[in-house]
Amino acid sequence: MTTSTQSGSGRGQRVTIADIARRAGVTPAAVSLAVNGRPGVSEATRERIMAIAAELRWEPSPAARALAGAPVLTVGMVLARPAEVLGTESFFGAFVAGLQEVLSRRDYSLQMKIVETTDDEIDTFRRWFAQRRVDGVVVVDLRQDDARIPALEDLGLPALVVGGPGHHGSLPSVYVDDAHATRLLVDHLAELGHRRLARVAGNGDFLHILLRDRAFTERCAELGIDAITQDAGFGTRGAEIATAELMARREAPTAIVFDSDEMTLAGAQVLEEAGSRIPEDVAVASYEDSALTRTHRPPITAIGRSAIEYGRVAATHLLEVIEASRSRYGSSSAPLQESRAIEPVLVVRASTRPGGAEPAPAAHGPSGTGLPSS
Amino acid sequence: MTTSTQSGSGRGQRVTIADIARRAGVTPAAVSLAVNGRPGVSEATRERIMAIAAELRWEPSPAARALAGAPVLTVGMVLARPAEVLGTESFFGAFVAGLQEVLSRRDYSLQMKIVETTDDEIDTFRRWFAQRRVDGVVVVDLRQDDARIPALEDLGLPALVVGGPGHHGSLPSVYVDDAHATRLLVDHLAELGHRRLARVAGNGDFLHILLRDRAFTERCAELGIDAITQDAGFGTRGAEIATAELMARREAPTAIVFDSDEMTLAGAQVLEEAGSRIPEDVAVASYEDSALTRTHRPPITAIGRSAIEYGRVAATHLLEVIEASRSRYGSSSAPLQESRAIEPVLVVRASTRPGGAEPAPAAHGPSGTGLPSS
DNA sequence: TCCTGTTACTATAGCGGTTTAGTCGTGGTC
DNA sequence: GACCACGACTAAACCGCTATAGTAACAGGA
């Protein structure tokens, strides 16, 4: 049966624990115990088995292990938005990279899927769970009263919610403190003397947008300065319109904060074309830092939430949750629903700093399009 | 569509084909034949079985299937670069999004892993193959004499190489015609009257960079104009230095082409700070289009290779290869090593167009633009 | 001497499918 | 009326690994 003459790279038969067992003069069960570091074999035998396994270049079969009940070492993430959005969004790539980094190190892999609707997403979770395809999932793009939360709680699939706080039910979560970020921005602008702030807000379906709304209004009120929130919905087009509307007001704001880096750039463009200088006439800041905000002229003050670090923390936390869910089989210990916050940091750049250290290139013609505007 | 008789969502036992068989009054084997659309059961029985399977919400177990030899419906991708780079690079996110889109539709999932070195990458391929974790892989960041090519050929693991052409051995590949892209750029600038072009080149380890080097020199020679290639290595810092060096020349170029969007912006910044106007004093163009080039002031002329579409094509092609490798079990038909090229398109923007007005994507003809060549 | 405990394994039964070699009734053929 | 082909299933053997009884050998205690 055993063709000991395999050794062909890619050709030969798969080597199984049975092969090892035969060579070691024990049963497959003993090999299983040995390679999994479980008690039941003597140290001498274990070493002998391990040596043979290495020599035979044995690799465990994930399928067989999964079938026998072992974890599949995979976590899933579903994205309910068009692929186009993912491609352009700076946050996505960095977040995934952060996830990957931690997961890879622990020999986990990340499985992703793009779907159309939230229902599809829940359905995917359900199927992944039923098929035992993943050990856990990470939930992104949290919304208010998100239907995925109860669905996942019901399923009992280990899950980590990215976003919050306070809206992730009994599930553990990792989030950036958007209220804190908002205060950083408002306080910074207030210190510079601004007394009329505006915020161009993204899609209000998302929870973090709502949290910003609230914190923005509150903080401005505390400081006794004017706060205008202008809804811009999705995309850059909305940001352009919102910016134009803001500047058309009788009492136009002296500083504008945008909910994303793309929106910021769109808004800044409108401002420049209307002849407003940044930061002399209007200060500009972004809730999201990226290559876009860094390389823009002038560079834009932004909240640095380090998407990559965000991903790392999320992955680490999820793995802990999975680990815990595995061990607490009989003992009904606490469900480990802990939340972790990531501290937002304010990165001040020339777009809010009139006398900035780096003298931004004099506004001799930021819009070189050749079209003399207004 | 959760029925009220959810039968313990998350609690109940997993439903298997044995359950279906019992309900249908047949054996598990019959169920297997039925649900897989294989001959051997009558149409009536098949329908009955399918109905019961749906009613019981049966989900096949991927592990069991894989163990029994079925494909695992997963493709892998390994990235041998630091997570940081991925996060900042615009190409990555879009490419992955494109891959995902196609894979998801076909019920495949993408598995990614980040490693340190090319050796780790090959090792990962080897283990994935040995463990039957993936049905195929996509290879990115092709280099000259890439060690992964022979390794994969040897393994016999279906693989698709992103990049080329001509350096992917017997493996199928998808690539952007960088020589063509180069001609588009050079011809465009030559038509505008530029007679001294420079190219700020990225990491020469990558194959596509070499192909650009060659094409750039050749095309400029054909047109009888000066060509300067300035190596900048990795990152934006190198691009800044390279740009400064170019402009310090006695005969400074009147147009500069950069190998990536990030490099372009870094270079543009150097130019602006040195008082050179774009495009009046120096025209600027990028080999890579992205939000960065689009939103920069002035907007930057770039090669649009649509990373997302690139991903879609790659995924489609890889699935075909996997499909083929599966069916050609006995018959040793051709190994389907076909290559597919993606047509690069030149998107002309204000950074090369002094009197530019319309931001219309001006796609040039497939090859040279009328200028006589050898 | 009997009994209880360890230790180090072995034997065996799954996990949930797929697959191959039967088995059985039926109808057509000559 | 025996022969045969055929469609529709069944029985059983895997796939590779894990888990759980069970067993043999030996030690220690009463």
Over residues B265-322, the pLDDT tens digits come to 889 989 988 889 988 999 999 998 887 788 788 899 999 877 888 899 999 999 998 8
The CATH number of A74-176+308-343 is: 3.40.50.2300
Q: Fold for domain B17-60?
A: 434 Repressor (Amino-terminal Domain) (1.10.260)
Q: Where in chain B is the domain with CATH 3.40.50.2300?
A: 74-176+309-342, 178-304+345-352
Least confident range from A353-362, B94-103, B148-157, B344-353: namely: A353-362
Q: Cβ contacts (< 8 Å) between A154 and chain B: which residues?
A: 9-10
More confident call, A5 vs B155? B155
Half-sphere exposure of B61 (CA within 13 A, CB side): 19
Distance from CA of B151 to the nearest CA of A (A): 10
Mean pLDDT over B197-212 rounds to 89
Over the range B330-360, which residues count as b (16 or more CB within 10 Å of their CB) and which as e?
eeeeeeeeebeebebbbbbbbbbbeebeeee
Edge to edge, the sheet with strand B109-114 lists A339-342, A173-176, A159-162, A136-139, A74-79, A109-114, B109-114, B74-79, B136-139, B159-162, B173-176, B339-342
Q: Fold for domain B74-176+309-342?
A: Rossmann fold (3.40.50)
* Coil vs helix vs strand at A9: coil
Q: Report the alpha-carbon distance of residue A196 to residue A189 in Å, rounded.
A: 9
- Evaluate if residue B366 carries a pLDDT over 50: no
* Coil vs helix vs strand at A103: helix
Mean pLDDT over A239-265 rounds to 92
Contact A20, A56 (CB under 8 A): yes
Q: Tell me the two tokens of residue B190.
A: 């030559």
Least confident range from A235-244, A364-373, B107-116: namely: A364-373
Contact A302, A351 (CB under 8 A): no
Element (H, E) at A210: helix A207-223
Q: Where in chain B is the domain with CATH 1.10.260.40?
A: 17-60
Q: Where in chain A is the domain with CATH 3.40.50.2300?
A: 74-176+308-343, 178-305+347-352
Contact A239, A288 (CB under 8 A): no
**Residue numbers 33-62 of A with CB closer than 7 A to any atom of strand D:** 35-36, 38, 58-61
Report in angstroms the alpha-carbon separations of A263 from A10, A95, A163, A268, B297: 51, 19, 21, 8, 15
Contact B214, B178 (CB under 8 A): no
Q: Fold for domain B178-304+345-352?
A: Rossmann fold (3.40.50)
Q: Cβ contacts (< 8 Å) between B72 and chain A: which residues?
A: 63
* Coil vs helix vs strand at B49: helix
Strand D reaches within 7 A of the A17 CB = yes
Note whether B16 contacts A: Cβ–Cβ < 8 A.
no
- Evaluate if residue B38 carries a pLDDT over 80: yes
Query: pLDDT tens, B63-86?
Result: 999 998 888 889 999 988 776 666
Q: Report the alpha-carbon distance of residue B24 to residue B46 in Å, rounded.
A: 10
Stated length of chain A: 374
Contact between A67 and B62 using a beta-carbon 8 Å cutoff: no
- Evaluate if residue B364 carries a pLDDT over 50: no
Q: Cβ contacts (< 8 Å) between B357 and chain A: which residues?
A: 370-371
Strand C reaches within 7 A of the A356 CB = no
The CATH number of A178-305+347-352 is: 3.40.50.2300
Can you tell me which residue has the tokens 């890889």? Answer: B318
